Structure 1
């Protein structure tokens, strides 16, 4: 086993902080921070995942009201020890070419497109963090055995601070929140 590179060693005993992600020179492109620990996405991306992420972002952009933006693979600053990277984020954060994260308070919707290697994080760990940060809307997108796309739409329950699934869409997704959205799910992949 080879020795770990210096950039993989936490700079302090209590772990990494959100700001540290901006100073990791050789970290993999999709590095997230969960509870002060680095999460490195090293597995190859599947075509299905890439197509769904690109298509969802493209479908959301023209439907978003003024001042809302659909971003792909930008980390969200939840707190000093948590900076996850959803696949798509709809936010009121204006575009800034030097920005490396989105403040949680600006996030209207997070979308996780589930891959086999990220299923536990996408369906368990990250939703709990998003809910705790007060992000009101979340979608979990999965590939069914048939190859079709299924989207589970969640809304934040203010009493329990957890997400409640309000619908599962398969052919067409229609939702009024965070703004009126209509997406043909059959057109997300070739």
Structure 2
């Protein structure tokens, strides 16, 4: 026995969904992304580790960001007509329209993805390429290693418009771009009741 798909899950055109369509899908799950015209849903329950790391990274960055940079959680970026991913944390230039439902790449300074089992391929390969092609200068991928966060940092290489790895940070992260940041990585999870 097959069940019929809800009408809102059917793409409205042969090319698939467009980035602006996400604003008109109130039935879609809260964390719906658009990748290459296809809707991507967060289907598995979020792990507590993931939620703690996202919250603590956001808090740490907010405490260190200059006044002209906002630190957001789970707001989509309209990369182009067919792509509107939703990173876990992002740093954006102020001012911005508080009524907007997405940012554009020119506003985004840093994107952070905290890897979960179902997002691993997208975070490590698909989004790595798409964020670079959109010109977003800095990308972090946060992995779990023995229950501690490990941050892989990338920066866009101007001549190739591709990301190059700038470091793998365990225990502590200290960088100067996109703004001076110092984070006790071991304390992110251990200091949150774990």
What TM bracket, shorter-length normalisation?
over 0.9
In the TM superposition, residue 148 of structure 1 has moved relative to its aligned partner by 1.4
Taking structure 1 as the reference length, the TM-score comes to 0.96
- Distance in 2, Cα, partners of 1:26 & 1:2: 17
| Unpaired segments ≥5 residues, structure 2 | none
1:127 matched to 2:128: yes
Instruction: Check if 1:74 corresponds to 2:43.
Output: no
- Contact 1:30-1:41 within 8 A present in 2 as well: yes
Q: Distance in 1 between matches of 2:172 and 2:97?
A: 33
Gaps of 5+ in 1: none
| 3-state secondary structure, aligned to 1:62 | helix
Pair 1:98-2:132 in alignment: no
Given the two structures, how large is their TM-score scaled by the length of structure 2? 0.94
SS at match of 1:61: helix
Write the distance in 2 (CA, Å) between the matches of 1:182 and 1:153.
Answer: 13
Taking only aligned residues, the RMSD between alpha carbons, in angstroms, comes to: 1.1
What is the match of residue 62 of structure 1?
63
Partner-residue secondary structure (3-state), 1:10:
coil
**Which digits, 9 at most, give the CA deviation of each residue in 1:48-105, with x for residues without a partner?**
0000000000000121112100100100011111100110000014354422101111
Number of aligned residues: 189
**Structure-1 residue corresponding to 2:118:** 117
- Is residue 2:171 matched to residue 1:187? no
Residues 12-161 of structure 1: pairs in structure 2 closer than 5 A: 12-94=13-95, 96-144=97-145, 146-161=146-161
Runs of 4+ in structure 1 deviating by more than 2 angstroms, as ranges, are 93-98
Q: Which one is further off, 38-47 or 93-102?
A: 93-102
Please give the secondary structure, in 1, of the residue aligned with 2:118.
Answer: helix
TM-superposed CA distance for 1:166, in Å, is 0.8
- 3-state DSSP class of the match of 1:11? coil
